[in-house]
Structure 1
Amino acid sequence: MEFLLRLLFLLLPIWVCYVSLLSVLSDARLEPWFSSISGPALPPGNGPISQIDATMTALSPGVQVERIEQHQNSDRKMLTAVIASAAVLVAIVLSIFSLCIYQHKKWKNSGPKNIQNSGPILGKLNSLRTTGKKGSVPAIEYHMLEAATNNFRESNVLGEGGFGYVYKACFNDNLLAAVKRLDGSGQGAEKEFENEVDLLSRIRHPNIISLLCYCIHGETRFVVYELMHIGSLETQLHGPSHGSALTWHIRMKIALDAARGLEYLHENCSPPVIHRDLKSSNILLDSNFNAKISDFGLAVAAGAQNKNDIKLSGTLGYVAPEYLLDGKLTEKSDVYAFGVVLLELLMGRKPVEKMAPSQCQSIVTWAMPQLTDRSKLPNIVDPVIRNTMDLKHLYQVAAVAVLCVQPEPSYRPLITDVLHSLIPLVPVELGGALRVTEPARSVGPNPSAN
């Protein structure tokens, strides 16, 4: 509508100039006739003259010269008016043409950045549907998802979320993707779906998962992401391999990547975004162990926790104490969850472990007394990476983790401070600032894990 109003505003001068041109041309053509009778009809002091005398006077040489000059002046005026009007019209037409090109480029570039590199799948999207007030993301037809996931066969399951399964999908031209299926008509699933699509359609960062498209089929919702080939950090740490593929430096790189993603949410989004469900299962790894934060169904804008419709959500073991007890949610709640993930990377333990059939223990409660004791710290390190890191680096990471999981939010650092603490611990080739010039010093003898 704004563009149409601008166009009408620019077309108005064209109409005015056109009318003015017609008026000038009419005046220029009529002026000689009016000039020829502009003098007095009868000479002063004389009576009526005969028709023959009038005719002879009109055909006299002096009158002919005067008429020729008047015609020449009229032609000059008409030519000047035509040139001036043509120049104005050309200028206005060029302005409108430039405005049209600008608006076209602006419209073309206003689409969501998250679909710029999503490959051949874009040619198969059936429409563009706006989700939320600012974001838009392409929709894909359901039958394409069925074909890509082999009719959602169980062998294609990559994992399970709170509202359904995540499937591996293979589209034409061997484009691989992950399809999260949210089943049920409950308000929770619908709200998470809309929230995630709206947020990810407006977020673009190398350490945040890229949203490709979505699908609505009856009461079922589907969200399609880029595929992270290695899977989640949780699977790598607590699955069959028990972290054997994760060296010390790779673990520090994963922590650094996750911190960069969180910093973007906290510092670069307006208003800041609180993930609210950061955990090892929501940190995904590609084939080069680049980490990306995923699952934004519970994410909220900073300050939204004051609204009545925000209920307590999260995962046991990662939820900050102040949020669990008082419902107070800030960016520091994400910092607490990041600290728990950092402890997982250090020790290879789950955030909550069963000690007895009716008793559980959190990794924070168990590790806190030993993290601050340098003589005990090497004993709780994951055996897979024990004796492989510089002792000073181990102490530094432990100190960062202790600060992140402080019970009092004000004692926790900002995620930016955490990020700057981790950069010197990650080799340059992995995205940090550490230059490895000599073998890492051993922590000491290989004691048995507690």
Structure 2
Amino acid sequence: MAIVLLALLLFPSAYAQPWSVCGNTGNYTAASTYQDNLSQLAASLPKKASSNTSPLFATGTAGAVPDLVYALALCRGDINASACKDCVTIGFEDAQQLCAFNKEATVYYDSCLVSFSNEDFLSTTVNGNENEVTVLMDAQNFTESADYIRLLLFTLLNDTSESAINSIRRFTTARMDISSLPTIYCAVQCTPDLTADECAACLQDFPQVTLQYLDGQRGGRLLGVRCNMRYEIYKFYQGDPMLRIISLASAVPTIGKTPPGTPVTVYPQPPPAAPPAPQMITTPIAAQEETGRKGKLWIIGIAIPLVAILLCSTFTFLWLRRPKKGVLSSQDRAGANRIEENALVWTIEQKSSEFTLFDLSELLEATKSFAEENRLGQGGFGPVYKGQLSDGQEIAVKRLASHSGQGFTEFRNEVELIAKLQHTNLVRLLGCCIQAEEKILVYEYLPNKSLDFFIFDERQSSLLNWYKRRAIIEGVAQGLLYLHKHSRLRVVHRDLKASNILLDQDMDPKISDFGLARICSSNDAEGNTKRVVGTYGYMSPEYASEGIYSVKSDVFSFGVLLLEILSAKRNSGFHQYGDFLNLLGYTWHLWEIGRWLDLVEASISKEMHEAEARRYINIALMCVQENADDRPTMSDVVAALNSESVVLPEPKHPAYFNLRVSKSVESAVVVEACSLNEMTITQDPQGR
């Protein structure tokens, strides 16, 4: 990023509007079909955008593959239709000049943006095909205390973003008035076709990018095709601010993380010409508001220094986290953890919901100081204890072990994620505790432990007849369907396994442990990570080897789980199936020779018809097919489970089916993972 910044500093022409981003998806030629299609959109989109009701926004397509063109135009929420039309018209002209014959281009102005591509970026919710964010910065810095300014800036950006997310127009202008400082103006906008959650996901990395590239600057912008942010010390938008911030009572710095590999293009922005003086001072304010504001600012004058002292170390570390050579020291890493812990505490305290921030003393009393007799089990996260609150409510307490491989990142992920999910087949997170060195999750207590306790134990498995196992299978499927399709967050669990299926008093299943879960937009096909985490035996091949995850990764895990419920055997571990290393290969062998009931555990085989066994094994094999595209969605799976009239296709071979036990060395089998990713594999004490 620094190289890009330094290179652009050498070229003054980069300062001028528009700011252009030229794509790399190919070129077109003059008088080609692609250019004709682009011309159609250049003629139609300005009128379409300006004729829409506020906000002024339009998308369109022209032509057919391979000359299909996708385009988007968005005008700032405060400008009028005529100005919008003119801006979009000029945008198409400038884009074709600045990115001559590029099939993909985006241009940004103060008042609008125009973007077109030969790839379908309209069906996604990320900032263009490369998820690129353009950063413009004022060349001048604030002269006040850096820590103090960071606190104010984070407050302004967070509050304005939250207001924009919850606005129907996905647009908010704001003004922050703090004595002894210049008034700061801000605007945040998402394209209005995004849902509130999609807008929030688009904006979630802006705090971190702001910190890295705009730290201390008196003005700056983050520009993306789907969302953008701007702040200045002069009033750059029209009309009165939609949000006024005159108190730091709700100051909650949200420290985001930029996903690895996310490109960020940095442009320097020269100081704008000072606007006429009246624009700087004539925001209408009622006299009584002024009186109230002065009173509040007097209180702030006392409160801010105290807050600033508490946050000084936080923002000092964040300053140090800016991109630079070298590696963070262990002391810095410890500081990073403390920063994120504090930010999470503040976020929880700000939200008014049923989610509770427990006091450590309350949980010590509930669990009798984590007494061994209250210990329910041990997971990769740490030990789990049963507890009882003072009002008699029973709880399950997961205590983060100091050596836990899951760590604070997954702890925070679970707190921020599962608290927003509500479904009868998902475990309910009641709250958490972040105090001293303790990180604790508090769940509803489920008396019957987890599914693996029953199906992998010969004495306990007989307690689950086929009727109950079928209900568990269907409940897990419904829970996954909710995560993938019906929840407002669209979640990939990434660690579905028997030990993460908890059973309530009626033996109904609840999916738990969302520490590794990831949010995806409704249109995201897949994601990619350099850090592969999960449990051996449940991970899909594309995720284990390449770090590619999607809803189809969860479908694969569900297929493995279904086979384990039917057979009461683990897919991997200390069990071997003749010549086959795992349950998938053994199942495929039985499928090919038509001996379906041989897979089913003896205690339930008498309760099942052969046709029923075949149907469930067919569904499972469809889920564990090697190619992700061949696997069904959870909608398809639920339909197949609920109706025998659904015709099931013949499955293709599963992943890992050809792993065989060496006849010469049966006691040791080595499987090499072909992956450049960092891989973290969970293996439970019992061989999970």
TM-score clears 0.5: yes
In structure 1, the partner of 2:629 is 410
Paired amino acid for 2:625: Q
Q: What CA deviation, in whole Å up to 9, does each residue of 1:257-290 have, x standing for no partner?
A: 1011101111123552110000000011101111
In structure 2, the partner of 1:422 is 641
In structure 1, the partner of 2:537 is 317
* Aligned residue pair count: 310
Question: 1:399 Cα deviation (Å)?
Answer: 0.6
DSSP-derived class of the 1:384 partner: helix
In structure 1, the partner of 2:103 is none
Paired amino acid for 1:252: R
Point out which structure has higher relative CO (alpha carbons under 8 A, 6+ apart): 1
Q: What CA deviation, in whole Å up to 9, does each residue of 1:147-173 have, x standing for no partner?
A: 111111111111211131011111123
Tell me the distance in 2 between the aligned counterparts of 1:298 and 1:131.
Answer: 20
In structure 1, the partner of 2:484 is 266
In structure 2, the partner of 1:33 is none
Paired amino acid for 1:218: A
Paired amino acid for 1:339: G
Higher Rg of the two aligned structures: 1
CA contact (8 A) 2:528 2:548 kept: no
Matched, 1:228 2:441: no
DSSP-derived class of the 2:581 partner: strand
TM-score by length of 2: 0.42
DSSP-derived class of the 2:603 partner: coil
In structure 2, the partner of 1:253 is 471
Paired amino acid for 1:343: L
CA contact (8 A) 1:183 1:219 kept: no
Question: 1:188 Cα deviation (Å)?
Answer: 4.2
Matched, 1:143 2:364: no
Provide the identity percentage. Answer: 34
Q: What CA deviation, in whole Å up to 9, does each residue of 1:67-118 have, x standing for no partner?
A: xxxxxxxxxxxxxxxxxxxxxxxxxxxxxxxxxxxxxxxxxxxxxxxxxxxx
Question: 1:144 Cα deviation (Å)?
Answer: 1.0
Q: 1:372 to 1:252 in 2, by over 3 A?
A: farther
**Could you tell me which of 162, 175, 195 is aligned with 2:413?**
195
User: What's the Cα RMSD here?
Assistant: 3.2
CA contact (8 A) 1:211 1:225 kept: yes
Q: What CA deviation, in whole Å up to 9, does each residue of 1:176-207 have, x standing for no partner?
A: 11100102277841001100000011111111
In structure 1, the partner of 2:608 is 389
DSSP-derived class of the 1:349 partner: coil
Tell me the distance in 2 between the aligned counterparts of 1:132 and 1:311.
Answer: 31
**Could you tell me which of 422, 425, 433 is aligned with 1:215?**
433
TM-score by length of 1: 0.63
In structure 2, the partner of 1:166 is 384
Paired amino acid for 2:634: I
Paired amino acid for 1:181: R
DSSP-derived class of the 2:564 partner: helix
Paired amino acid for 1:209: V
Task: Please show how residues 81-100 of structure 1 align to structure 2 within 5 Å.
Answer: none
Paired amino acid for 1:319: M
Q: 1:132 to 1:399 in 2, by over 3 A?
A: farther
Q: Which piece of structure 1 moves more, 333-342 or 261-270? A: 261-270
Task: Please show how residues 303-342 of structure 1 align to structure 2 within 5 Å.
Answer: 306=527, 310-342=530-562
Tell me the distance in 2 between the aligned counterparts of 1:273 and 1:251.
Answer: 25
Q: 1:160 to 1:7 in 2, by over 3 A?
A: closer
Tell me the distance in 2 between the aligned counterparts of 1:187 and 1:340.
Answer: 24
Tell me the distance in 2 between the aligned counterparts of 1:261 and 1:275.
Answer: 11
In structure 2, the partner of 1:157 is 375
Question: 1:305 Cα deviation (Å)?
Answer: 7.1
In structure 1, the partner of 2:617 is 398
In structure 2, the partner of 1:378 is 597
Tell me the distance in 1 between the aligned counterparts of 2:641 and 2:533.
Answer: 29
CA contact (8 A) 2:380 2:406 kept: no
Paired amino acid for 1:338: F
Question: 1:134 Cα deviation (Å)?
Answer: 8.4
Q: What CA deviation, in whole Å up to 9, does each residue of 1:269-323 have, x standing for no partner?
A: 3552110000000011101111110000000123697566x51011011011111
Paired amino acid for 1:411: D
Question: 1:129 Cα deviation (Å)?
Answer: 4.6
CA contact (8 A) 1:149 1:170 kept: yes
Question: 1:7 Cα deviation (Å)?
Answer: 11
Tell me the distance in 2 between the aligned counterparts of 1:7 and 1:365.
Answer: 61
Question: 1:229 Cα deviation (Å)?
Answer: 1.1
Q: 1:152 to 1:239 in 2, by over 3 A?
A: farther
CA contact (8 A) 2:377 2:383 kept: yes
Question: 1:245 Cα deviation (Å)?
Answer: 1.1
In structure 1, the partner of 2:587 is 367
Matched, 1:297 2:527: no
**Could you tell me which of 354, 363, 367 is aligned with 2:574?**
354
CA contact (8 A) 1:164 1:181 kept: yes
In structure 1, the partner of 2:564 is 344
DSSP-derived class of the 2:573 partner: strand
Paired amino acid for 2:551: E
Q: 1:405 to 1:418 in 2, by over 3 A?
A: same
Tell me the distance in 2 between the aligned counterparts of 1:10 and 1:351.
Answer: 69
Question: 1:380 Cα deviation (Å)?
Answer: 2.1
Question: 1:325 Cα deviation (Å)?
Answer: 1.5
Tell me the distance in 2 between the aligned counterparts of 1:177 and 1:388.
Answer: 36
Tell me the distance in 2 between the aligned counterparts of 1:270 and 1:316.
Answer: 29
CA contact (8 A) 2:493 2:516 kept: yes
Q: What CA deviation, in whole Å up to 9, does each residue of 1:35-84 have, x standing for no partner?
A: xxxxxxxxxxxxxxxxxxxxxxxxxxxxxxxxxxxxxxxxxxxxxxxxxx
Return 5+ residue gaps in structure 2 as ranges. Answer: 1-158, 164-173, 176-240, 245-282, 290-343, 645-688
Q: 1:343 to 1:133 in 2, by over 3 A?
A: farther
CA contact (8 A) 1:266 1:274 kept: yes
Return 5+ residue gaps in structure 1 as ranges. Answer: 16-126, 426-450
Paired amino acid for 2:347: T
Paired amino acid for 2:552: K
In structure 1, the partner of 2:347 is 130
CA contact (8 A) 1:177 1:227 kept: yes
